[in-house]
Structure 1
């Protein structure tokens, strides 16, 4: 199943509650200090939960996305000429894409467009002249965009794709998750842990430059990592709950391994989807058990949502960047909020301090309502 052309990651940029830029993101996830604070961006009076992982000063989502795309392109050394043929794949939530009242100075004066016009708007502002696509498929939006981009690059249809994703915590989704009692009332995200009570939302605006190995080499571009494999599968089980035995997620991981031509034993880290909710964390642990068998309890696992929160449509791209940066640094991030083991999650969860990366290969997993599952397998250069 291997594609003809290897797919390289040559530039990244991200903002989250941990700060602006790749260095801030890497330092934050390795420190393992959760970024959840009281929400000041909008009124949470009457809400069951009043905390999230938000950056204090942000512009409109359209402006933050524009800046992220531009910075990722500059980090990759993609100049005006190379941008002209680059495609843009955008993952974000539907509806108007600006905050009603930005908490800080906005970076521009353009009116915020609606999906799907935003992708074209960003492409024009950033000088990207290739095709555009928009993804609004909930929490697998960004990882699906990466998989599509890698497929098109791998078979030679495109040389270069910028994948961008953004979610800034806003009142509507916050109210929806709070009313559904999905937010952690104790103000902490505790993936795979005993005593876990739910998720917390977080900001993320991210951009990643993907290129064919040939196109990257022609420019002398740096390679941060290779997207070695990817897989997608559905549970077809329940509108909201994943399959209790993790069938869909396991199939997605197995597809990513087949495409990469790697055995499960080659994987040295899993950046888990785990949101800190009892049912879905147990399902994910079951999926990893199906893939790794008796070795499932020896593969290092953590969910960095425990530090930066759940960024919904942008989660897949933020967590891909976390995985790439930590692999490149040679250290694996901790799973914050840990209280103790849960028998439904028999995994090797990284809880005390970052660990050395035992192999150059890692998985980053995402799942969404409706039973959608994605797996991206990346390899350090």
Structure 2
């Protein structure tokens, strides 16, 4: 989190030329990647151990905690022989990580940019219903040549090498590495272990558009319902939201639809609540996005600084929001929303309490 936090606090985009694989024949050749050639299995194994250690989970607590893993699949899948592919699918990958880290039964989530946020919502739901005391949620995506080629061929990438959420002149998205792990636990179970949960969890909401395979509903109806659901579950009013970490992909249709979703869900407050999309700094991490951006939101709340909406050029009348521009600004009181949307019209809203 150190390098990511430093970039967030400085408002410095992490995009650079891709060196992990050959992009000579691509329209766009930049992404936000870790140095070298990291292995997703190793990265997630290390992060899961660290998260469990920080939560002070012993062997028994680990064994009783399910693992909910958001992942595109084992990166070795595409290069495997047909007979070997079942052992490299998302479920097999999650099972292996659970075994190697001493965790309980696993569940894999592969629903693109809402995979991790859906896993978090599911985990919070089963804990709230008393079906589990704690759940470990992890997500990971490392930029790789096959997905990169698909996005490039579909002309989804920003040709100017910058993600510009909610800005006039925005050209598209850019990919980025992302991986993280978190332990969700009931307050009662944590208290019995002498652990004070941090931060207090608030709520979640989910909804679907069923509008188009790739594009959101033009009025953002699904995302608006997800936001409204998160507020309703928490018993919160729109005016209590003090920050929105937006999905903000930097594409023309998505940003405009998200603006309308915020207006529908938050009413007049949508014009004044601070909004930024940190994808302009760390890129689109696909299945890991929900977890990465929740961690970014929590970092902002703990540090008292709201991250800048980088890459901004000038206003777009279709995206009239109170964007955090120029530099980070102090966080105010209230709740924070972390929003995600995915192909197929899936939408999630995670709501956490401000420090």
Same fold (TM over 0.5): yes
Contact (CA 8 Å) 1:76, 1:222: kept in 2 or not?
A: no
Contact 2:238 2:269 in 1 (8 A): no
Partner Cα distance (1:213, 1:205) in 2: 26
Out of 318, 327, 336, the residue aligned to residue 353 of structure 1 is 327
Q: Does 1:205 align with 2:179?
A: yes
Over residues 108-147 of structure 1, what are the superposed CA-to-partner deviations in whole Å (9 max), with x where a residue is unaligned? xxxx84321111111111111x221100111110000000
* 1:79 has 2:53 as partner: no
Structure 1 alignment gaps of length 5 or more: 1-21, 101-111
Q: What's 1:161 paired with?
A: 135
Structure 2 residue 64 is matched with structure 1 residue 90: no
Corresponding residue SS for 1:207: strand
SS at match of 1:30: helix
Query: How many angstroms apart in 2 are the aligned matches of 1:182 and 1:362?
Result: 29
Pairwise CA distance, 1:329? 1.3
**1:81 shift after superposition:** 2.6
Residues 40 and 75, structure 2, Cα contact 8 Å, conserved in 1: no
Deviation of 1:226 (Å): 2.4
8 Å contact kept, 1:265–1:292: yes
Structure 1 residue aligned with 2:90, among 111, 115, 124?
A: 115
Question: Alignment partner for residue 278 of structure 2, among 304, 316, 336?
Answer: 304
Could you tell me how far apart the structure 1 residues matched to 2:76 and 2:137 are? Answer: 17
Name 1:103's counterpart in structure 2: none
Q: Residues 225-246 of structure 1, C-alpha deviation per residue, up to 9 Å, x if partnerless?
A: 2221111101111111111111
Q: How far is 1:95 from its partner?
A: 5.0
Q: Report the counterpart of residue 316 of structure 1 in structure 2.
A: 290
Matched residue count? 348
Counterpart position of 2:17? 38
What is the distance in 2 between the residues matched to 1:331 and 1:298?
17
Check conservation: 1:199, 1:276, Cα contact below 8 A. yes
Matched, 1:280 2:259: no
4+ aligned runs moved over 6 Å, structure 1: none
Q: Equivalent residue of 1:225, what SS?
A: coil
Deviation larger for 139-148 or 289-298 = 289-298
Instruction: Name the residue aligned to 1:125.
Output: 100
Deviation at 1:98, TM superposition (A): 7.9
Task: Give the drift of 1:201.
Answer: 0.1
- For residues 45 and 126 of structure 1, do their structure 2 counterparts lie closer, same or farther at Cα, with a shift above 3 Å needed? same
Is the 2:164–2:171 contact (alpha carbons within 8 Å) kept by the matching residues of 1? yes
Native 8 Å contact 1:97 1:114 kept in 2: no
Question: CA separation of 1:98/1:53 partners in 2, compared to 1, >3 Å: closer, same or farther?
Answer: farther
- CA shift, 1:343, in A, is 0.3
Three-state SS of the structure 2 residue aligned to 1:217 is: helix
Distance 1:318 1:256 in 2: 19
Give, in angstroms, the shift of residue 73 of structure 1.
1.0
CA distance in 2, matches of 1:50, 1:315: 21
1:217 aligns with 2:191: yes
Rounded to whole Å, the distance in 2 between the matches of 1:98 and 1:166 is 15
Distance 1:28 1:360, change over 3 A: farther
